[in-house]
Amino acid sequence: IYGKDAGVDECGELLARGVGMAKLYCNDPERTADLESRRWVRTGDVFSRSVDGYYTMHGRVDDLLKVGCGQWITPVELEDMLESDPEVVERAVVGRTSRDGIVNVCAFVVPVPEVRDIDGLIGRLRRVHEAARSRSGHSGTSPVSAADQRTRREKPAAHSK
Protein backbone atom coordinates (compact mmCIF):
# COMPACT_ATOMS: atom_id res chain seq x y z
CA ILE A 1 0.00 0.00 0.00
CA TYR A 2 1.45 3.33 -1.06
CA GLY A 3 2.44 5.46 1.91
CA LYS A 4 2.61 2.57 4.38
CA ASP A 5 5.86 0.96 5.50
CA ALA A 6 6.15 -2.71 4.56
CA GLY A 7 6.64 -5.10 7.45
CA VAL A 8 9.64 -7.35 8.00
CA ASP A 9 10.09 -9.77 5.07
CA GLU A 10 7.14 -8.13 3.30
CA CYS A 11 7.60 -6.93 -0.29
CA GLY A 12 6.90 -3.35 -1.26
CA GLU A 13 7.94 -0.68 -3.74
CA LEU A 14 11.07 1.21 -2.71
CA LEU A 15 10.58 4.97 -2.38
CA ALA A 16 13.54 7.33 -2.20
CA ARG A 17 14.29 10.96 -1.45
CA GLY A 18 17.35 13.05 -0.86
CA VAL A 19 19.44 15.97 -2.10
CA GLY A 20 20.56 14.04 -5.18
CA MET A 21 17.04 13.26 -6.38
CA ALA A 22 15.49 14.78 -9.49
CA LYS A 23 13.70 18.07 -8.95
CA LEU A 24 11.63 17.94 -12.15
CA TYR A 25 10.71 15.90 -15.20
CA CYS A 26 11.76 17.46 -18.50
CA ASN A 27 8.73 18.72 -20.46
CA ASP A 28 6.33 16.96 -18.07
CA PRO A 29 4.76 19.49 -15.68
CA GLU A 30 2.14 17.01 -14.42
CA ARG A 31 4.76 14.51 -13.16
CA THR A 32 6.87 17.38 -11.82
CA ALA A 33 3.91 18.67 -9.79
CA ASP A 34 3.29 15.17 -8.46
CA LEU A 35 6.97 14.84 -7.52
CA GLU A 36 6.95 18.17 -5.69
CA SER A 37 3.75 17.33 -3.82
CA ARG A 38 5.00 14.12 -2.25
CA ARG A 39 8.78 14.61 -2.10
CA TRP A 40 9.32 10.86 -2.58
CA VAL A 41 10.37 9.22 -5.84
CA ARG A 42 8.80 5.87 -6.72
CA THR A 43 11.70 3.71 -7.95
CA GLY A 44 9.61 0.87 -9.38
CA ASP A 45 11.87 -1.61 -7.55
CA VAL A 46 10.29 -4.23 -5.27
CA PHE A 47 12.26 -4.88 -2.05
CA SER A 48 11.84 -6.61 1.28
CA ARG A 49 13.68 -5.85 4.52
CA SER A 50 14.91 -8.61 6.83
CA VAL A 51 14.69 -8.46 10.61
CA ASP A 52 18.45 -7.67 10.56
CA GLY A 53 17.91 -4.62 8.32
CA TYR A 54 19.20 -6.13 5.06
CA TYR A 55 17.32 -5.28 1.86
CA THR A 56 16.66 -7.83 -0.90
CA MET A 57 15.50 -6.93 -4.40
CA HIS A 58 12.67 -9.08 -5.75
CA GLY A 59 12.14 -7.48 -9.16
CA ARG A 60 10.26 -4.51 -10.53
CA VAL A 61 6.70 -3.35 -10.20
CA ASP A 62 6.37 -3.25 -13.99
CA ASP A 63 7.46 -6.90 -14.22
CA LEU A 64 4.42 -8.10 -12.30
CA LEU A 65 1.77 -9.94 -14.30
CA LYS A 66 -1.91 -9.58 -13.44
CA VAL A 67 -3.38 -12.99 -14.25
CA GLY A 68 -6.71 -14.71 -13.81
CA CYS A 69 -9.04 -12.84 -11.48
CA GLY A 70 -6.57 -10.08 -10.59
CA GLN A 71 -3.79 -12.19 -9.04
CA TRP A 72 -0.37 -10.48 -9.24
CA ILE A 73 2.68 -12.69 -9.84
CA THR A 74 6.26 -12.14 -10.87
CA PRO A 75 7.76 -14.30 -13.62
CA VAL A 76 10.89 -14.77 -11.49
CA GLU A 77 8.87 -16.76 -8.90
CA LEU A 78 7.83 -19.26 -11.54
CA GLU A 79 11.28 -19.34 -13.14
CA ASP A 80 12.78 -20.19 -9.75
CA MET A 81 10.34 -23.09 -9.44
CA LEU A 82 11.27 -24.33 -12.93
CA GLU A 83 14.99 -23.89 -12.19
CA SER A 84 14.74 -26.39 -9.32
CA ASP A 85 13.69 -29.17 -11.72
CA PRO A 86 16.67 -31.39 -12.69
CA GLU A 87 15.25 -31.95 -16.19
CA VAL A 88 15.14 -28.23 -17.06
CA VAL A 89 18.22 -26.50 -18.51
CA GLU A 90 16.77 -23.09 -19.40
CA ARG A 91 13.47 -21.36 -18.72
CA ALA A 92 11.69 -18.06 -19.29
CA VAL A 93 8.25 -17.01 -18.09
CA VAL A 94 6.27 -14.25 -19.79
CA GLY A 95 2.75 -12.91 -19.85
CA ARG A 96 0.74 -13.57 -23.01
CA THR A 97 -2.44 -11.59 -23.63
CA SER A 98 -5.25 -13.58 -25.24
CA ARG A 99 -7.67 -12.18 -27.82
CA ASP A 100 -10.14 -11.38 -25.05
CA GLY A 101 -7.56 -9.34 -23.13
CA ILE A 102 -6.80 -11.88 -20.37
CA VAL A 103 -3.13 -12.29 -19.43
CA ASN A 104 -2.02 -15.90 -19.25
CA VAL A 105 1.31 -17.15 -17.96
CA CYS A 106 3.44 -18.76 -20.63
CA ALA A 107 6.61 -20.71 -19.76
CA PHE A 108 9.31 -21.52 -22.30
CA VAL A 109 11.35 -24.51 -21.15
CA VAL A 110 14.45 -26.16 -22.61
CA PRO A 111 14.77 -29.70 -21.21
CA VAL A 112 18.05 -31.54 -20.71
CA PRO A 113 18.95 -33.49 -23.87
CA GLU A 114 18.26 -36.85 -22.19
CA VAL A 115 14.53 -36.13 -21.69
CA ARG A 116 12.46 -38.31 -24.03
CA ASP A 117 8.99 -37.85 -22.51
CA ILE A 118 8.28 -34.16 -23.13
CA ASP A 119 4.55 -34.55 -22.43
CA GLY A 120 5.36 -36.18 -19.08
CA LEU A 121 7.73 -33.31 -18.19
CA ILE A 122 5.09 -30.70 -19.09
CA GLY A 123 2.43 -32.51 -17.07
CA ARG A 124 4.72 -32.82 -14.04
CA LEU A 125 5.71 -29.12 -14.22
CA ARG A 126 2.02 -28.13 -14.41
CA ARG A 127 1.21 -30.25 -11.34
CA VAL A 128 4.12 -28.73 -9.38
CA HIS A 129 2.97 -25.24 -10.38
CA GLU A 130 -0.64 -25.93 -9.36
CA ALA A 131 0.49 -27.36 -6.01
CA ALA A 132 2.71 -24.33 -5.33
CA ARG A 133 -0.09 -21.99 -6.38
CA SER A 134 -2.62 -23.61 -4.06
CA ARG A 135 -0.18 -23.59 -1.10
CA SER A 136 0.64 -19.90 -1.56
CA GLY A 137 -2.86 -18.71 -2.41
CA HIS A 138 -1.75 -17.52 -5.83
CA SER A 139 -4.26 -18.46 -8.43
CA GLY A 140 5.63 -9.33 -20.64
CA THR A 141 9.06 -9.63 -19.46
CA SER A 142 11.97 -10.90 -21.47
CA PRO A 143 14.13 -13.85 -20.43
CA VAL A 144 17.12 -11.52 -20.12
CA SER A 145 15.22 -9.20 -17.80
CA ALA A 146 14.15 -12.02 -15.49
CA ALA A 147 17.64 -13.52 -15.36
CA ASP A 148 19.11 -10.10 -14.69
CA GLN A 149 16.66 -9.63 -11.81
CA ARG A 150 17.66 -12.96 -10.32
CA THR A 151 21.35 -11.95 -10.47
CA ARG A 152 20.64 -8.60 -8.80
CA ARG A 153 18.41 -10.23 -6.20
CA GLU A 154 21.08 -12.74 -5.18
CA LYS A 155 23.76 -10.10 -4.67
CA PRO A 156 24.05 -9.01 -1.03
CA ALA A 157 22.49 -5.61 -0.52
CA ALA A 158 24.35 -2.86 1.26
CA HIS A 159 23.68 -2.97 5.00
CA SER A 160 21.30 -0.22 5.97
CA LYS A 161 19.31 0.31 9.15
pLDDT in tens, 120-154: 888 888 887 777 666 555 443 333 334 444 444 44
Q: How far apart are CA 138 and CA 132, in angstroms?
A: 8
The predicted model scores a pTM of 0.49
DSSP state of 76: H
Looking at the predicted structure, is the pLDDT value of residue 99 above 80? yes
Judged against a pLDDT cut of 60, whether residue 23 lies above it is answered with yes
pLDDT (average), residues 12-27: 80
User: Could you tell me if 92 and 120 are in contact, meaning their C-beta atoms sit under 8 angstroms apart?
Assistant: no
- How far CA 84 is from CA of 22, 88, 93, 120, in Å, comes to 41, 8, 14, 17
Say what the pLDDT of residue 69 is. Answer: 67
Q: Say if residues 103 and 65 touch (Cβ distance below 8 Å).
A: yes
pLDDT at 140: 34
CA angle 46, 37, 40 (to 5 degrees): 25
Interatomic CA distance for residues 54 and 48, integer angstroms: 8
pLDDT (mean) for 18-38: 77
